[in-house]
Amino acid sequence: MEIEKEPRNYYDYFVQKVRIEQEKIKLNRNFDEFDIRTPFREYFKTFDCLEVEDGWQIDCYYAHSNTGGKPVIYVRKPDEDIDELLSRIDNKRYMYDHRIFEYCQSVNTIDHLKVTDIEKGLFQLLMLDMIGEDFAIYWHAGYGRKTMICSKRELYEISEKILDKERKSEIEKANDFPTIEESKDCITYRILTFNSWRGLAEESYSIKKAFPHKISLIEAKILVSYDCGLRY
């Protein structure tokens, strides 16, 4: 996949760029040897308008079992190491343990990320929160994966697959996405997303300009229901 020569806008460009970097991180199916952290550090550089709060480090753990696996992005203090927790888990081959999620989710990662550019940075923060972990996904963990639609081209390609002629014409007249509304304290993004087991949806999020940049879901509604029929 290559970035289009003329992306429609910065948002279209950035989503394409994230996808390219995600595709570079390949899954090693030998779980005993899999280490996501080295490629993750390079991947996180894609989010070039984000920086980690002083006194914290960002990292990534690959949570998996015999039925699926996905990366979990988290922040930690420099003197905390998830490897020490992993060493106490009995079932080392399938390191899919509720204690890992308690550890990774005990601190809200978004609360410890600052933006260096308000409009671009808050969009990058939202994308990290929504699709930032959508790489090296294995088996059942893929059900929740979303596609961000930031161009008419993508909307057309998806509508060709899931809509009849009349409804396709209606959807393709939709406003360009994402749409952005800015107020004194926050920016609101309206985004089109597609999931192969849910369909086409419109989601609205408000993000505070001031640090910590709290993300709030305003509304999520299905515009067109769709199920690809594939079951893992």
| pTM to 2 decimal places | 0.84
User: What are residue 230's phi and psi, to 5 degrees?
Assistant: -75, 135
User: Could you tell me whether strands 113-115 and 57-65 are parallel, antiparallel, or unpaired per DSSP bridges?
Assistant: unpaired
Token pair for 221: 């509604």
Domain boundaries of the chain, sorted by first residue: 10-141, 147-225
CA distances to 20, 125, 133, 215 from 50, in Å? 19, 7, 16, 15
Cβ-contact 125, 104 below 8 angstroms: no
pLDDT single digits (tens) 15-54: 999 999 998 887 766 554 455 656 788 899 999 999 999 9
Report how far Cα 123 is from the mean position of its chain's Cα atoms.
Answer: 11
- pLDDT at residue number 132: 94
Which stretches in the chain have pLDDT values below 70? 1-8, 28-38, 65-66, 81-105, 164-176, 230-232
- pLDDT at residue number 223: 86
Cβ-contact 74, 61 below 8 angstroms: yes
